[in-house]
């Protein structure tokens, strides 16, 4: 399978979604309501992104690949 090239804003939004989800998963997270709202906003942004409206192929597979690329982006950010 050829790698999917996602728009940078979509990869960044998925990265932010992962980061926000991890913050919510912490014991007694601070700013709980704000984190929940942010997660909902990011979920809506990622799910409804125009990229998926025009993508020719399995959107489920594309979403998995998006999460993989976002995690890879996280590792690069932490290594820098």
SS3 assignment for the chain = CCCCCCCHHHHHHHHHHHHHHHHHHCCCCCCHHHHHHHHHHHHHHHHCCHHHHHCCCCHHHHHHHHHHHHHHHHHHHHHC
- pTM higher than 0.75 for the full model? yes
> What's the pLDDT band for 78 if we cut at 50, 70, 90?
low
26-77 per-position pLDDT tens digit: 998 889 999 999 999 999 999 999 999 988 888 999 999 999 999 887 777 6
Is it the case that residue 79 has pLDDT exceeding 80? no
Domain definitions of the chain by residue range: 8-79
């Amino acid at each position: 399978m050829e790698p999917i090239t996602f728009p940078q804003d979509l990869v960044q939004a998925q990265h932010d979604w992962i980061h926000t989800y991890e913050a919510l998963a912490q014991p007694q997270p601070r700013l709980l309501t704000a984190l929940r709202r942010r997660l909902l906003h990011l979920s809506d942004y990622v799910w409804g992104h125009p990229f998926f409206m025009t993508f020719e192929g399995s959107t489920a597979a594309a979403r998995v690949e998006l999460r993989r690329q976002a995690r890879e982006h996280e590792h690069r950010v932490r290594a820098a």
